[in-house]
Chains A and B, each alone.
Chain A
Amino acid sequence: MNTSHNRSFLVLMVLAVMLLFFALSSAVCVQAFVRSYKQSEENSRRDSAAFAAQSMAEAGKAAKGESKKVSDMLSAEETQNGAVLYYDKNWAKTTAENAVYTVCGSKGKTDTKHLASYNVSVKDRENNVIFELDTAFQED
């Protein structure tokens, strides 16, 4: 009776240890999965931000920094700070109210005659800069 009881206890202990081992390994692996997923999302976000910034930069160069022309080209909103494009979480164009990401392109001045700069910044809802691009173009 006593030996049988001891054996049952041993079996239970082995099962408990296995369960613990499985739980620990699962925790570590799930952590790796979650970290990879988050990093992948971050990479995807930056890739899309770079693409959006590049579009805005090229439009800014072509329009010689004029916000009105950039807004017409990209169907962007014209603001005091320049042309602004709003994107939702899937990087589809949206309105300012539903925007998760904001791409802002603005004209700047340089010390060199005939040269102007066009600066593009992509920000998230918390106003963190995801991607920035500085470019230049010729003024008449």
Chain B
Amino acid sequence: MGRSFKSIPVIAACMLTVIFAVLCLTVFAMLTLSTQKADQRLSDASAQAVKNYYAADSKAEKVLSDIRNGITDESVTEKNGVYSYACQIDDTQSLEVEISKNGDKYEILKWQAVSTTQWNADQTLNVYKGK
């Protein structure tokens, strides 16, 4: 009888230990999974950004070769021998190009990835105004 009573706290301790261990394992597993998901999203975005940039770059090179061949479409504007056009990289960026052409020779004046989103700077500043 005495031994049975003694075994109850032992079982309870074992149960609590197991529950605590399982809880810890579950929490760490969840944290690992969420970190991995975030890592995956970042890696996907990074790979896609590289692909998008080079797709836009190739498109810009194609337009440049068209200009060299004397073909221009409506996306290209020309002013005083300077051709300007832009190729979309993604929703927030585009590749802006400016080419100066003189006969067969050409010079790249601008080949720049720029942000196309509106920058809304916060102009407010909470300063102490006295009483």
Contact = CB atoms under 8 A, between A and B. Distances in A.
Given A36-B32, A112-B66, A136 B22 contact: no
Interface residues of B, number: 39
B116 interface: no
Interface stretch (A25-33, A66-74, A81-89): A25-33
B1 A4 contact: yes
A8 B11 CA distance: 11
Given A40-B36, A113-B65, A133-B51, A33 B29 contact: yes
Interface in A9-58: 11, 14-15, 18-19, 21-22, 25-26, 28-29, 32-33, 35-36, 39-40, 43-44, 46-47, 50, 53-54, 57
B32 A112 contact: no
A11 B25 contact: no
In terms of DSSP, what is the predominant structure of the interface of chain A?
Answer: helix
A27 to B, nearest CB: 10
B47 A21 contact: no
Contacts of B3: 4
B18 A22 contact: yes
Contact of A135 (B18, B46, B58, B66): B58
6 contacts: A14-B15, A21-B22, A28-B29, A43-B39, A43-B40, A138-B65
